[in-house]
Each structure stands twice: as structure tokens, then as C-alpha cells.
RNA sequence: GGAGAGGUGGGUGAGUGGCUGAAACCAACAGUUUGCUAAACUGUCGUACGGGUUAAACUGUACCGGGGGUUCGAAUCCCCCCCUCUCCGCCA
């Protein structure tokens, strides 16, 4: 949620920024300003009237004590008169506040200056590319056939016990998952991240805190009986640890990492390009989350990108780094880089990480602040990134490293898998 | 699932209708004292949204888990909800 103050004071810049996103409902900005003005006017008159009636109430008390019941009675009836007015004004104010809130929820974050304008993924900019695209041997297979051939991941069994999009990992397939998770967690720890194991369900307030609600209500699994949402990413619980928190300066920066399964309904998004591991309802992901002082957040974004790129290099996967254009960024983000690995049998780039700076957009909702040296509380910046999402990494490893003898495990991973070939 | 207890400021914890935005203590911060540290003493010490100001000063309103009600007036009385804790039951 954008800060009201910024919309009020930098209206033109906000409108221009949202233009880079191709944001269709630009009129919401003016509506916010109008609603806010009405809200303030209403509050002023309401407060004045309340001040008046507070005074009257006090006077009545004094008159009663002084035994002047008659005068008290007169005053009492005049106060009763104001009550109707008060009620009405309170109603108006509540409506205005709710409207304002609702309008603010619908406005996405303003892209950072570096973000190019654009409508869709086609307008993203390749910021960096690394590694060579492997040449596969004759008869190379896509991963969804490799997993059958080596019997390491089983979609049919998953369908039997849960449904499509819930694969069962078996034998070396399961061990590969576990190895990747441990590898990612250990690497993050070396970079100073603290490991967190959060709940994988969250309450409604947490959903609002990081912006999944009300926006993406239908995308999360919902446990009706208990009013809990299954998390679509560890970002939700880990960032919400800091909801309604005022940090001390010495607590900063916050660098957390967590592994969780992630659950996504992916309603309506099934189609041609989602075979095999490309899109799942449940998948594993290690997520890094940072909380930073505003002036440090862009440096942190760089650091996080470099860290993720380092992981991909250690896994020997060819990748490219995309600077997302305004239209392709998430609702909450001010600046996002996507990392894509090349999956050689599919001949496709697969997104395996998304690293974002939300600036104060999330912390404004979360009320995540810190007390600076002058003793002033101010909003912090939040950032997060996948480091990394497993299924597509697995797909790329399987496809790129296949040989007639079997699938070669990247060297960095062998200490974790304790085997170097799937055959 | 059953029974009970409780939710007040950073913490402990007073407060059963007006003088309570809230005692006291602790913590924190600033200062005095001191050769330094400690102790002692003095002062400051909530948040949000408004008005006001170049900025302050100043000022209004709201907030004692959340929502509603009674009353001229609610932390205090009534109703509903939520949460936490304890015991019992069940269970990994």
C-alpha cells in the first residue's frame, strides 16, 4: 500500500510511475486525493463537535456536584440533540475511511526509476547472461520423460493420493530435493542469513500484511474450518514476523532465510507450457527475506541478486537475469529481477527466482518501522527473493546434465546427495 | 472437545462511572554529582489521525484485546467475538 502522504505530496510522480506499469485505473489516484480531503474535513468537524460535547459532559458533572440540577438538565437536553448529528458524522467518516482504504489497496507500487515502461514479459530487459547452453546428445529427453525413465518423480501416484500438480518424489528424486534444500540453506547461512522455520499456514491478517489479500484470494488454498491460508511462499510468514513491529536501529539489517513447501492453486493457468515440473500446486522453495533501512535497500537488492546468481553458477546452470518492465512486475514490487535458467531439452528459459524490492509498500501495510538516531519512527523497506525454487531447477539439472549413462549431479551438490549420477 | 483464569503504556502492575492518557515501580533517554565506573538525585519518557507552523511551539479527537450497547459522561457497567494461560479429555 502506497503511503497516503506520498500520493498527496508527489501526485504527478506517482501518476507517471504507475504509467510505466500500464496501470489502467489511474483515476484511482485522484479519487484517493479527493476522498482523503473529504475525510479530513469530516474528521475536523466531527472532532470539533466531540470536543464540544466532551466539554458539556464535564459541565454537567460539575453542575450536578454543585447541586444545580436544573441547569444540568437544560444542558443535558442540548447535548442529546448533538448526539444524532454525531452519529451521522461518525457514519460518514467510517465510510470515507473504508473507501479510502479500499482505493489504496487497489493501487500497485510505483516502479523505481530504473524500471523500464512496458506491458508484458516482452518488454523485460536482459540485464545479464551467464554460462553456455549445453549441446545434448542424440535422443535427449525432456525432464518429464527422464523422471519416468529413472523412476524418481511420480505424477500418477500424486494424482492418486492428492491430485494433478502434487508430484511424489522417490528414491534419488527425493534425495535430490533434500540435497538442494540443504545446499541452499547452508549457502544462505554463509552469507549471514538466519534460518527460520515458519508455519506453512497463516491467518488473514498475515495475508493482508504482505499483500496476497485481498488481491490473490483465489490463488491460495484456504482451510475453511480454521480460517487459515496455506502459504504460497515463505515470504508471507517470514515477512509477517515483522508485522506491527518497531525495530531498534541495532536490529538492522534483518536477513532471514527459510525453507517451506509452497502451495498455489494456479486456478485457470494450466495449459501448453506447464508440463512436468514447470508448474505445480505444491513445490519446495528456499526464500531469502531482508528488512532494510530505506537508504540501503537498493544495495541489498543488488546483493541478493548476486547471491542468487552465485547459486546458479555453483549449480552450473546457464542463466539470464531479467530486469522486469513495469507491466510484468508484481503488484507490490518497486523493482524486480527474475532469474531464468535454460532447460536444454525443452529449449526454454524457466523462471527460478524473482528478487524484489518492495520499498515501503509492504511495510506500510505491515506497520514495520524502526526508530532512527533522532528517535523518529519511520517505515523500513522489505525485500525478498527465491533462493531458489526447486522444481524448475530440478528440471534444468535433469535435462542439461543428461548423458547416455545417466544424469550427472553438479559437483557442488554431490556432498549433499552423496551420489553423482542418477541412472 | 469440557472446565476455569486472564487480556491496561517497553516490562511488572494499580485502577469498579466524571479530578485517569491512565498511580507506583522497573527499564530507557537527557542532565547533575563523580578522577573513571557504579550509586544517588533531577528531568523527559505512548501511538494514530486531524488543526496549526517554513519548522516548531501550541492544540483537537481517538485508543486500556476487537466490535456493539447503557449513560450527559466508560479502562470501569451490559452483550457478542477474538486471543492467551491452566487443568481434564483426545492425540503425533
Is A157 near strand B, with its CB below 7 A from some atom of it? no
End-to-end CA distance of chain A: 51
Of A1, A97, A112, A4, nearest to A42 by C-alpha is: A97
Q: Residues 213-242 of A near strand B (Cβ < 7 Å)?
A: none
Residue A333 scores a pLDDT above 70: yes
pLDDT in tens, A160-187: 999 989 999 999 999 999 999 999 999 9
- Whether the CA torsion A104, A214, A111, A243 is positive or negative: it is positive
Q: What is the mean pLDDT of residues A8-16?
A: 92
Contact A317, A309 (CB under 8 A): no
Average pLDDT in chain A: 91
Residue A266 scores a pLDDT above 90: no
- Please give the angle made by the CA atoms of A418, A394 and A192, to the nearest 5 degrees: 70
The percent of residues in chain A predicted with pLDDT above 70, rounded, is: 98
Q: Å between A83 CA and B19 C1'? A: 25
Is A53 near strand B, with its CB below 7 A from some atom of it? yes
The C-alpha cell 525413465 sits at A149
| Lowest mean pLDDT segment, chosen from A53-57, A82-86, A184-188, A391-395 | A82-86
Is A95 near strand B, with its CB below 7 A from some atom of it? no
Q: Which nucleotide is closest to the Cα of A60 by its C1'?
A: B72
pLDDT in tens, A361-401: 999 988 888 887 777 788 999 999 999 999 999 999 999 99
With cut-offs at 50, 70 and 90, classify the pLDDT of residue A61. Answer: confident
CA distances from A222 to A202, A208, A226, A227, A284 (A): 10, 14, 9, 7, 19
Nucleotides of B under 7 A from a protein CB: 18, 47-51, 60-62, 72-73
Is A64 near strand B, with its CB below 7 A from some atom of it? yes
Q: Å between A321 CA and B74 C1'? A: 60
Q: Å between A60 CA and B77 C1'? A: 20
Q: What is the mean pLDDT of residues A29-38?
A: 94
Q: Å between A246 CA and B46 C1'? A: 13
What domains, with CATH codes, occur in chain A? 4-106 (1.10.287.40), 121-422 (3.30.930.10)
pLDDT in tens, A221-236: 988 878 889 999 999 9
- Please give the angle made by the CA atoms of A95, A98 and A99, to the nearest 5 degrees: 85
ipTM of the complex: 0.84
Is A8 near strand B, with its CB below 7 A from some atom of it? no
Distance CA A325, CA A336 (A): 8
With cut-offs at 50, 70 and 90, classify the pLDDT of residue A272. Answer: low
Q: Å between A250 CA and B25 C1'? A: 28
Amino acid at each position: 500500500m502506497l503511503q497516503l502522504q506520498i500520493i498527496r505530496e508527489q501526485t504527478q510522480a506517482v501518476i507517471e510511475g504507475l504509467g510505466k506499469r500500464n496501470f489502467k485505473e489511474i483515476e484511482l489516484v485522484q479519487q484517493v486525493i479527493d476522498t482523503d480531503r473529504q475525510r479530513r474535513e469530516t474528521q475536523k468537524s466531527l472532532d470539533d463537535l466531540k470536543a464540544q460535547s466532551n466539554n458539556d459532559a464535564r459541565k454537567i458533572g460539575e453542575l450536578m456536584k454543585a447541586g444545580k440540577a436544573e441547569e444540568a438538565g437544560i444542558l443535558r437536553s442540548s447535548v442529546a440533540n448533538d448526539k444524532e448529528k454525531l452519529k451521522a458524522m461518525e457514519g460518514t467518516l467510517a465510510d470515507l475511511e473504508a473507501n479510502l482504504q479500499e482505493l489504496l489497496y487497489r493501487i500497485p507500487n510505483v516502479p523505481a526509476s530504473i524500471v523500464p515502461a512496458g506491458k508484458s514479459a516482452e518488454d523485460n530487459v536482459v540485464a545479464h547472461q551467464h554460462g553456455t547452453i549445453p549441446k545434448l546428445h542424440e535422443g535427449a529427453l525432456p525432464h518429464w520423460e527422464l523422471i519416468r525413465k529413472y523412476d524418481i518423480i511420480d505424477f500418477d501416484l500424486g494424482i492418486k493420493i492428492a491430485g494433478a500438480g502434487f508430484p511424489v518424489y522417490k528414491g534419488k528424486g527425493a534425495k535430490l530435493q533434500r540435497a538442494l534444500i540443504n545446499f541452499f540453506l547452508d549457502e544462505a547461512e554463509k552469507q549471514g542469513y538466519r534460518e527460520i522455520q515458519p508455519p506453512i499456514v497463516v491467518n488473514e491478517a498475515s495475508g493482508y500484511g504482505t499483500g496476497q489479500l485481498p488481491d490473490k484470494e483465489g490463488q491460495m488454498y484456504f482451510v475453511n474450518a480454521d480460517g487459515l491460508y496455506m502459504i504460497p511462499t515463505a515470504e508471507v510468514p517470514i515477512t509477517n514476523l515483522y508485522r506491527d513491529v518497531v525495530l531498534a536501529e541495532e536490529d538492522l539489517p534483518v536477513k532471514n532465510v527459510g525453507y517451506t513447501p509452497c502451495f498455489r492453486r494456479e486456478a485457470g493457468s494450466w495449459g501448453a507450457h506447464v508440463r512436468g515440473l514447470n508448474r505445480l500446486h505444491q513445490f519446495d522453495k528456499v526464500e531469502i527475506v531482508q528488512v532494510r533501512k530505506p537508504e540501503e535497500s537498493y544495495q541489498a537488492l543488488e546483493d541478493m541478486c548476486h547471491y542468487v546468481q552465485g547459486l546458479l553458477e555453483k549449480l552450473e546452470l546457464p542463466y539470464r537475469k531479467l530486469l522486469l518492465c513495469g507491466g510484468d512486475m508484481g503488484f507490490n514490487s518497486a523493482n524486480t529481477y527474475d532469474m531464468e535458467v535454460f532447460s536444454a531439452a525443452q529449449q526454454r528459459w524457466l523462471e527460478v527466482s524473482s528478487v524484489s524490492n518492495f520499498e515501503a509498500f509492504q511495510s506500510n501495510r505491515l506497520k514495520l518501522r524502526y526508530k532512527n538516531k533522532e528517535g523518529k519512527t519511520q517505515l523500513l523497506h522489505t525485500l525478498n527473493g527465491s533462493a531458489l525454487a526447486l522444481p524448475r531447477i530440478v528440471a534444468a539439472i535433469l535435462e542439461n546434465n543428461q548423458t547416455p549413462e545417466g544424469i550427472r549431479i553438479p559437483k557442488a551438490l554431490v556432498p549433499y546427495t552423496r551420489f553423482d549420477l542418477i541412472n
